[in-house]
Structure 1
């Protein structure tokens, strides 16, 4: 049997900032209330855009040290831009997104969510459109 050094003496795990951003964007994108938005440049369709995030890492006392408790990894501040479904509660949607983001960050990196700012850049009608008409017989003006 080989003898390994103490886990704290073996090294550190450093998570790239782009990984934090991808985790946050994926968690937000999987929330039922978020939608992708058509991107246009000079009047031309250039695809879709989903949630976009800016993540700032706040290292904890034992940031990423191998063998340390997961809770000691540190904290992150998130600034997130999303498009939400309409009609619907913005507060409930943001609360759900926050829970998803925090859970995914804790599970995959051990970091916890410290600050969370959401900018709702657009509201889009529900996919089937029935909820947006709310029983009206006349078509909506677009």
Structure 2
């Protein structure tokens, strides 16, 4: 073990330790990943959900654009997406999701159509 690691040290008071800022690009990636994990969502080609992030301080506004599997209970899947994205963003970033708008831009069948 390194002698540096053996030295006990006192932590500074929380107000003196500095700050941590999570960028909107990170929040966007977390939201997209969380949305893609919900059963019933689909990838349009290689692209999954797309997200836009806005907001100030510890409040974020999210807008998601995603595709769903067809046939799927749209309202139920979107509700699950809202819950999952809100939970993940708030858990991982400490930000509060103020608004979350979801646009379903495509319904994709489970099976690719046959070409004749």
Aligned-partner SS, 1:31:
coil
- 1:12 equivalent in alignment to 2:10: no
Aligned length: 109
Q: C-alpha root-mean-square deviation of aligned residues, in Å?
A: 2.2
- 1:51 equivalent in alignment to 2:49: yes
State the Cα distance separating 1:21 from its structure 2 match. Answer: 0.5
- 1:111 equivalent in alignment to 2:95: yes
* Structure (1/2) with the larger strand percentage: 1
Structure 1 CA distance, aligned partners of 2:25 and 2:114?
41
TM-score (norm: length of structure 2): 0.83
Aligned-partner SS, 2:56:
strand
Structure 2 match to 1:77: 61
Structure 2 CA distance, aligned partners of 1:87 and 1:141?
20
TM-score (norm: length of structure 1): 0.69
Unaligned runs of 5+ in 1: 39-47, 60-73, 130-138
Runs of 4+ in structure 1 over 2 Å off: 1-5, 139-142
